[in-house]
């Protein structure tokens, strides 16, 4: 088979196998590798998508960080609600820091900045998760107390009319 003019009897079989392998290598979205925006073939397209996603994500993170920070400050106006407000302030600061680190990662392509993004987001989600668990527990306690008082009120009014 050193002569390029000779035909390979297995050439058709080899091209069919290559087509089957290419079809099997489709990604999660059901597209082949040439249509995949995350493939190496579409590097420029990927860079555009990644930059627009990073811009959008950092903007929303900054917005939510500011909103969380403001809610924390407003919650600190009350003595009892300051218990919720102080962690919200720290969560808002962490999310704003994460937004700044994400913008710095986009600008300088520094993996340390990407690490800072995840550390700050981890802090934000831990605080929000703990506050959510506490809120659910307080809600359950309030429902139990409300049902208890409704039962007590029912029996109190029920006995009141019999006297």
pLDDT confidence of residue 152: 87
pLDDT confidence of residue 6: 54
pLDDT confidence of residue 145: 96
pLDDT confidence of residue 49: 73
pTM above 0.75, yes or no: no
Listing DSSP states for the chain in one string gives ---TTSPPTTHHHHHHHHHHHHHHT--TTS--TTT-TTSGGGHHHHHHHHHHHHHHHHHHHHHHHHHHHHHHHHHTTSTTTHHHHHHHHHHHHHHHHHHHHHHHHHHH--HHHHHHHHHHHHHHHHHHHHHHHHHHHHHHHHHHHHHHHHHHHHHHHHHHTT-
Average pLDDT by consecutive 10-residue portion of the chain (163 residues)?
53 52 47 50 63 90 96 93 94 96 90 92 96 96 95 77 55
pLDDT confidence of residue 131: 95
pLDDT confidence of residue 26: 46
pLDDT confidence of residue 93: 96
pLDDT confidence of residue 153: 84
């Amino acid at each position: 088979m050193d002569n390029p003019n000779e035909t390979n009897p297995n050439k058709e079989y080899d091209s069919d196998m290559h087509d089957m392998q290419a079809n099997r290598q489709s990604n999660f979205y059901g597209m082949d590798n040439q249509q995949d925006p995350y493939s190496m073939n579409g590097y420029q397209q990927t860079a555009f998508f990644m930059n627009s996603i990073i811009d959008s994500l950092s903007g929303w993170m900054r917005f939510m960080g500011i909103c969380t920070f403001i809610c924390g400050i407003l919650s600190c106006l009350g003595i009892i609600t300051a218990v919720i407000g102080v962690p919200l302030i720290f969560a808002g600061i962490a999310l704003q820091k994460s937004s700044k680190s994400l913008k710095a990662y986009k600008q300088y392509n520094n993996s340390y900045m990407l690490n800072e993004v995840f550390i700050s987001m981890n802090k934000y989600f831990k605080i929000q998760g703990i506050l959510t668990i506490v809120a659910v527990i307080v809600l359950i306690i309030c429902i139990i107390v409300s049902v208890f008082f409704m039962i007590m009120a029912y029996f109190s009014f029920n006995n009141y009319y019999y006297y």
